[in-house]
Amino acid sequence: MQTCLIAAFGFKSIKKNETFLRPESYKEMIISLNFSIIIRSERMRELTKTEEILLVTIWRLKKEAYGVKIRQHISRALGKEFTYGNLYSALHQLTAKKYVITNIGETVPSRRGRRRIFYALSPDGFRALESAREVNDKLWMGIPRFALNNEKKG
pLDDT of residue 70: 97
Is the pLDDT at 147 greater than 50? The verdict is yes
pLDDT tens, position by position, 89-127: 999 999 999 999 999 998 878 777 789 999 999 999 999
Residue 81 belongs to some domain of the structure: yes
Is the pLDDT at 42 greater than 80? The verdict is no
What percentage of the chain reaches a pLDDT higher than 70?
A: 68
Q: Which residues contact residue 62 at a Cβ distance below 8 angstroms, ignoring those fewer than 6 apart?
A: 120
Residue 18 belongs to some domain of the structure: no
pLDDT of residue 124: 95
Residue 131 belongs to some domain of the structure: yes
Residue 94 belongs to some domain of the structure: yes
pLDDT of residue 152: 62
Residue 29 belongs to some domain of the structure: no
**Residue range(s) defining the domain that contains residue 79:** 49-140
Residue 150 belongs to some domain of the structure: no
pLDDT tens, position by position, 44-53: 568 999 999 9
pLDDT of residue 109: 80
Decide: pTM greater than 0.85.
Answer: no
Residue 117 belongs to some domain of the structure: yes
Supply the CATH number for residue 81's domain. Answer: 1.10.10.10
Got the DSSP string for 46-88? ---HHHHHHHHHHHHHGGG-BHHHHHHHHHHHHTS---HHHHH
pLDDT tens, position by position, 61-74: 999 999 999 999 99
Q: How many structural domains does the chain have?
A: 1
Residue 69 belongs to some domain of the structure: yes
Is the pLDDT at 140 greater than 80? The verdict is yes
pLDDT of residue 97: 94
pLDDT of residue 54: 97
114 in Cβ contact with 108 (< 8 Å): yes
